[in-house]
Amino acid sequence: MTPEVGEPITPISDGWEVLEGDPVMWTWFEHQSEDCALVEGTWRCTPGTLRAEYQYYEYVVMLEGKIEITPDSGETVVVKGGDAFAVEANFKGVWKVIEPVHKRFLLRLR
């Protein structure tokens, strides 16, 4: 994966499936390291419930919003504006976006 830097990606991203509601997500890839190992950007999403299957490690800083994250093999965690957290590569579970989300992220692609 070598994402393009610049314009937002607006359809539901690969690895995400809408389970409930009509969420809309926007992803901006804003910087990529010279060796293409790291990508940083911004993600926004409107309320709804989505199944997520991650391929890459992601570090997240939530600027606004509220999400209930339930891994397939674990307990629900609630994150909100002001929180920072990591999502491990190969995460599988459900993200319930309760309030519109604005987050910054750093993906490790290798």
Flag whether 2 is in a domain. Answer: no
Return all residues near 79 (Cβ < 8 A) that are at least 6 apart.
60, 62, 66, 67, 69, 85
The pTM of this model reads: 0.87
By DSSP bridging, strand 57-71 and strand 92-108 are antiparallel
**Res 47 pLDDT > 50:** yes
Flag whether 1 is in a domain. Answer: no
Q: What is the pLDDT of residues 57-67, one digit of tens each?
A: 999 999 999 99
Rounded Cα gap, residues 41 and 29, in angstroms: 5
Amino acid at 87: V
Q: Average pLDDT in the 39-63 region?
A: 96
Give the CATH number of the domain where residue 76 resides: 2.60.120.10
pLDDT band at 1 (very low <50, low <70, confident <90, very high): very low
Q: How many domains does the chain have?
A: 1
